[in-house]
Amino acid sequence: MPPLDLAFLRAQFPAFAHPETGQWVMSENAGGSYAAKPVIDQLHHFMVATKVQPYWSFAASAEAGANMDRSTALWTSALNAEPEEVMFGPSTSINTYVLANALRAELKLGDEIIVTNQDHEANSGAWRRLADGNSGIVVREFSVDRETGRLDIAKLKGLLNARTKLVFITHCSNIVGEIHDIAAITRDVHAAGARIGVDGVSCAPHLLPDVKALGVDFYYFSLYKTYGPHQGLMYVKRAHLERMANQGHFFNAPHLGKRLTPAGPQHGEIACAGGVIDYLEQAYTHHLGKGEAAAPHLHTRMQSIMDRFHAHECTQANRLLTLLKDKGARIIGPLTAEPHKRAATIAFRPKKGTPQEVVDKLVAQKICCGASHFYAFRVMQALGINPEEGVVRLSLVHYNSEADVTRMLEALDGAL
């Protein structure tokens, strides 16, 4: 497979040309990626030319609404969803909270929900709260291995039963990095008569989902970690949305795309969200062909280019994993990065010193990273790690070059 044209790709991210951010190795992408140029350009245009209430008949308003609709249509197609199944919200944490409130009305005494202790709290706390008080709802925990942090997916079948109504799992943990076979898990969940919701926040920047191929009922992720604005995106299968308790204004109940939007949407951020797809289309055309050579469906093109991205990420991640193993660090999750098995999100505990001491040394070398529990508090507890100390996390995406990783390796060699 020919290598990625990193010069072309990085030129689409203005941050790399900035006099300050351009000096740094951006290896904290799991906390938020840089925004692609089409996103920035479209947000700037919205704020300058169309910062008005959208969807009225005067020109600026009509254009604002059209750009918002364009973003929704592009993302719907990119994810292989159907009209009105894709909606936006301020963040994934808020989207899951709203979804949980909508599902509450469908649950009754004795119903069971399965959650993991591997997830970011956004895909754990919202569902656990449904069992608070005297609701009679039962939450069962699908627990990680206490050494590696990984989930033994075979054990999920032992938790599923006739009372299971909902299962929530991450596509890829923001700490463990392992990419789960969601299509296979979904088949097991559906066979038990339950529905499944998947947190794709740490997977979507590396591999956009095909929601039909996965078969999921709910899927959600953060655009600000997927080269876009600070906005959450949520997919809900139409059949569920049609019967779901309305969370928006009562008069919006007939409009499925507004049913899980309690407040006015963030117009500018939605309008520029389509810029992510524009960027990925540019990358696809540059690397994989145009015209008759292009795949006919948008979601196929998106998956093709992101497969290329992911292969590059795995190559660079393995360089980091090799050094960490040589230095005796405790790596959380798989020890090698294989395509569709591990994301380039690497969390570890150093053999000597604290995570923050290591981070301080890396930051001094202009390596972006952090030490924390990264909102995955429960997995820290399960691994016997003090959440206040947490782990060092280094996370890559496709625009991280071989030179970036070489700088990271040199800095790590001195820090460990």
CATH code of the domain containing 398 = 3.90.1150.10
Tell me, what's the pLDDT at 293? Answer: 72
In-domain check, residue 291: no
In-domain check, residue 391: yes
Contact between residue 39 and residue 280 where contact means Cβ atoms under 8 Å apart: no
CATH number of the domain enclosing 181:
3.40.640.10
The answer to whether residues 248 and 112 belong to one domain is yes
The answer to whether residues 16 and 57 belong to one domain is no
What span, in angstroms and rounded, lies between the C-alpha atoms of 163 and 166?
9
Q: Answer yes or no: is pLDDT of 132 > 90.
A: no
Q: Answer yes or no: is pLDDT of 412 > 90.
A: yes
User: Which helix (DSSP H) or strand (DSSP E) does residue 234 occupy?
Assistant: strand 232-236
In-domain check, residue 279: no
In-domain check, residue 289: no
Tell me, what's the pLDDT at 227? Answer: 98
The answer to whether residues 185 and 244 belong to one domain is yes
For range 123-143, the mean pLDDT: 91
In-domain check, residue 103: yes
In-domain check, residue 284: no
Q: Answer yes or no: is pLDDT of 31 > 90.
A: yes
What span, in angstroms and rounded, lies between the C-alpha atoms of 214 and 320?
30
Q: What is the mean pLDDT of the chain?
A: 96
The answer to whether residues 234 and 370 belong to one domain is no
Tell me, what's the pLDDT at 264? Answer: 84
The answer to whether residues 128 and 183 belong to one domain is yes
Owner of token pair 């970011």: 120
Residues of the domain holding 343: 6-34+299-415
The answer to whether residues 257 and 143 belong to one domain is yes
* Tens-digit pLDDT profile for residues 222-270: 999 999 999 999 999 999 999 999 999 999 999 999 999 998 889 999 9
The answer to whether residues 111 and 257 belong to one domain is yes
> Number of folded domains in the chain?
2
The answer to whether residues 75 and 221 belong to one domain is yes
Tell me, what's the pLDDT at 292? Answer: 66
Tell me, what's the pLDDT at 356? Answer: 98
The answer to whether residues 54 and 190 belong to one domain is yes
Tell me, what's the pLDDT at 134? Answer: 67
Going by pLDDT thresholds of 50, 70 and 90, the confidence category of residue 2 is confident
The answer to whether residues 82 and 206 belong to one domain is yes
What span, in angstroms and rounded, lies between the C-alpha atoms of 175 and 149?
8
| Predicted model pTM | 0.97
The answer to whether residues 108 and 138 belong to one domain is yes
The answer to whether residues 72 and 138 belong to one domain is yes
* Tens-digit pLDDT profile for residues 326-364: 999 999 999 999 999 999 999 999 999 999 999 999 999
